[in-house]
Amino acid sequence: MLGEFNNYFWPVLVASITIIGIIGCYVLLKLTGKKGPENDDNSTSGHVWDGDLEEENNPLPRWWVGLFVITIIWGLIYLALYPGLILTDGYLKWSQLGQYQDEVKDADKKFAAMYKDFGQMDLEQFINNRKAKKIGKKIFLNNCAQCHGSDARGTTSFPNLTDHDWLYGGKMIDIKSSITNGRNGVMPALASIGTKKDLWDIAHYVKSLSDSKHHPMKALRGKEKFGICASCHGADGKGNQSIGAPNLTDHIWLHGESFEGIVHRITYGINNEMPAWNDRLTPEQIHLVSLYTRMLSKDNH
């Protein structure tokens, strides 16, 4: 009930004010378009200022009335064509969204020819084509930088795309697949595999894999419990790109390297998501931004 009230209150209020405004204009015109009340010789309104300054009793000039009438008629035509009253769509069915979509369609058509050439490029051609690089960079800055950073170096939980440490692989085909279909890195919550102390021991073992600071005895105990982790991260801890399980031996940490953090991740698991772009970018745009991403990591050889 209240929802319905809210749905209608503002549109009805706006429409009423608009219509009353137009009617008001018409009434004002009627009242002032005629001569004022009759008086003796009917040439002045009877108002006198400073002794001799009199107000003549003339109707509004015709051209002025004409402008007013045009304004009112224009207002009515506008309201009939466009959704000015909010309550109706208007005869032209115009909407901001519709106009935007038409413009996007036009732009897509305009750029289609240009993108067609770029859609076939290989990395070498891309690197030597300034225009293609510029567009690839623009697509990246507009769509990817908010998560991966404008330099693509990422931040906690958002991977660095320039460092050769790939969760899902760094070949063109892998990168393109990451972008086209998105990725979802899932590590289950594994609190049940041991006591809190066991989880700390495992964290020490994880740290030992990259030769980071750790307690050797605790790490040794943790190693015994690593079996379940090995099913995804590999017996050697080097990860598995088919499911995006990170390499734990390279001292590159996606989610942070503190003991507390690692224990937290084992306890509660991780669900990390990269959105899919197949419905937001064209295949050619995905190709270009993949080349751009690939180039960034190539530069870092």
- Report which residue type is found at 76: L
| DSSP 3-state of 272 | strand
DSSP 102: H
Among 136, 277, 287, 291, binds ligand HEC (CB under 6 A): 277
Q: Residue 161 and residue 168: Cα distance in Å, rounded? A: 11
Nearer to ligand HEC by Cβ, of 19 and 298: the residue is 298
Q: Residue 45 and residue 188: Cα distance in Å, rounded? A: 90
* From 9-17, 19-27, 118-126, 272-280, span contacting ligand HEC (CB under 6 A): 272-280
Nearer to ligand HEC by Cβ, of 132 and 245: the residue is 245
Q: Phi and psi at residue 150, in whole multiples of 5°? A: -70, -20
* From 16-24, 65-73, 108-116, 155-163, span contacting ligand HEC (CB under 6 A): 155-163
Closest separation in Å from C-beta 63 to ligand HEC: 59
Among 25, 69, 270, 295, binds ligand HEC (CB under 6 A): 270
Among 118, 132, 137, 159, binds ligand HEC (CB under 6 A): 159
Nearer to ligand HEC by Cβ, of 135 and 185: the residue is 185
**Using rule CB under 6 A, residue 190 touches ligand HEC:** yes
Contact present, 299 and 162 (Cβ < 8 Å):
yes
Helices first, then strands: H and E counts in the chain: 12, 4
Stretch (H or E) spanning 184: strand 183-187
- Report which residue type is found at 269: G
**Using rule CB under 6 A, residue 126 touches ligand HEC:** no
Among candidates 242, 262, 243, which has minimal Cα distance to 254?
Answer: 262
- Those residues whose C-beta lies under 8 Å from the C-beta of residue 300, and which sit 6 or more positions away, are 162, 163, 164
Q: Residue 183 and residue 99: Cα distance in Å, rounded? A: 33
Among 158, 172, 210, 298, binds ligand HEC (CB under 6 A): 158
One character per residue 11-30, x = contact with ligand HEC (rule: CB under 6 A):
--------------------
Among 208, 244, 263, 291, binds ligand HEC (CB under 6 A): 244
Nearer to ligand HEC by Cβ, of 6 and 192: the residue is 192
**Using rule CB under 6 A, residue 232 touches ligand HEC:** yes
**Using rule CB under 6 A, residue 147 touches ligand HEC:** yes
Strands 183-187 and 270-274: antiparallel
**Using rule CB under 6 A, residue 291 touches ligand HEC:** no
Nearer to ligand HEC by Cβ, of 99 and 142: the residue is 142
Q: Residue 166 and residue 181: Cα distance in Å, rounded? A: 16
**Using rule CB under 6 A, residue 245 touches ligand HEC:** yes
**Using rule CB under 6 A, residue 262 touches ligand HEC:** yes
Contact present, 84 and 90 (Cβ < 8 Å):
yes
Strand intervals (E) in 29-160: 44-49, 53-56
Q: Residue 273 and residue 9: Cα distance in Å, rounded? A: 41
Judged by the rule CB under 6 A, the positions of this chain that interact with ligand HEC are 140, 143-144, 146-148, 158-159, 161, 166-168, 175, 178-179, 183-188, 190, 202, 206, 228-229, 231-233, 243-246, 248, 253-255, 262, 265-266, 270, 272-275, 277, 289, 293
